[in-house]
C-alpha cells in the first residue's frame, strides 16, 4: 500500500511538469493566435472602417474655399468637390455667382453647365435645370438641385451650405 501510494505520488509528480508544459503551450498558442488575429484583423478593420469614416467626414463638410475661383470668367462655370459630392460654380454674365450640388435629383448623375443653352443638363436621361435657381425645368428630375451660398473673396470663392 505504501509502495502504491509512493508510486501514485511519483506519477502525480511526473505528470505535473507535463501538465504545466501543456498549459504553457496552450497559453503560448492562444497568445500567438491572438497576435495573428490582431495582426490580420486590425488592417482588415481599418480597411473596412476607413471608407465609412471618410464618408462621414465628407458628409460633415459645410463649406469649401476654392482658391482663385474668383478669377472665373463671366459666362463660365467650374466643377468642384463639396465633401464627397461634385458641385458646380457658375459666374453669370451679369456678374452674379451661383453654386449648387451637381448631382441630378433623378438618379444621381453629374450635371453639366451648357453656356450656349444657358442650362444645366443631365446627359443620363435629359434632365434640365435652371442655371440661376437650380429648378428642375425639363425631363425626369423630380426636384431642384440643392443650392449653396456663394461668397466671393479677394483670392477665392467660398461655397457653403445654405
Quick one: DSSP state of residue 71?
G
d(CA 154, CA 75): 19
Which residue among 55, 58, 107, 115 contacts ligand FES (CB under 6 A)?
Answer: 107
- Going residue by residue from 36 to 75, which x/- string records binding to ligand FES, judged by CB under 6 A? ----------------------------------------
Question: Is 127 a residue that touches ligand FES (CB under 6 A)?
Answer: yes
Find the shortest distance in angstroms from Cβ 112 to ligand FES.
11
Find the shortest distance in angstroms from Cβ 111 to ligand FES.
7
Which residue among 64, 100, 122, 157 contacts ligand FES (CB under 6 A)?
Answer: 122
List all residues 6 or more positions away from 118 whose beta carbon is below 8 Å from its beta carbon.
Answer: 131
Query: Distances in Å between the alpha carbon of 161 and those of 71, 72, 140, 146?
Result: 22, 21, 25, 9
Look at residues 124, 117, 152, 119 and name the one whose alpha carbon lies nearest to residue 134.
119
- Of 31-39, 43-51, 106-114, 147-155, the window that binds ligand FES (rule: CB under 6 A) is 106-114
Question: Is 129 a residue that touches ligand FES (CB under 6 A)?
Answer: no
Question: Is 157 a residue that touches ligand FES (CB under 6 A)?
Answer: no
Terminal CA-CA length for the chain: 95
Query: Distances in Å between the alpha carbon of 99 and those of 51, 79, 81, 134, 158?
Result: 27, 9, 11, 9, 10
Question: Is 27 a residue that touches ligand FES (CB under 6 A)?
Answer: no
Question: Is 141 a residue that touches ligand FES (CB under 6 A)?
Answer: yes
Residues lying near ligand FES in the complex (CB under 6 A):
104, 106-107, 109, 122, 124-125, 127, 139-141
Amino acid at each position: 500500500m505504501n509502495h502504491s501510494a509512493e508510486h501514485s505520488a511519483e506519477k502525480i509528480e511526473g505528470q505535473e511538469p507535463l501538465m504545466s508544459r501543456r498549459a504553457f503551450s496552450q497559453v503560448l498558442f492562444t497568445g500567438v493566435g491572438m497576435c495573428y488575429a490582431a495582426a490580420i484583423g486590425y488592417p482588415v478593420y481599418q480597411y473596412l472602417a476607413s471608407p465609412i469614416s471618410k464618408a462621414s467626414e465628407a458628409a460633415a463638410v459645410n463649406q469649401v474655399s476654392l482658391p482663385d475661383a474668383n478669377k472665373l470668367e463671366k459666362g463660365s462655370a467650374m466643377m468642384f468637390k463639396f465633401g464627397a459630392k461634385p458641385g458646380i460654380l457658375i459666374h453669370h454674365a451679369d456678374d452674379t455667382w451661383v453654386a449648387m450640388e451637381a448631382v441630378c435629383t433623378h438618379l444621381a448623375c453629374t450635371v453639366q453647365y451648357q453656356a450656349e443653352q444657358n442650362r444645366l443638363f443631365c446627359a443620363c436621361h435629359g434632365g434640365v435645370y435652371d442655371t440661376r435657381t437650380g429648378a428642375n425645368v425639363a425631363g425626369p428630375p423630380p426636384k431642384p438641385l440643392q443650392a449653396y451660398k456663394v461668397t466671393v473673396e479677394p483670392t477665392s470663392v467660398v461655397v457653403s451650405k445654405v
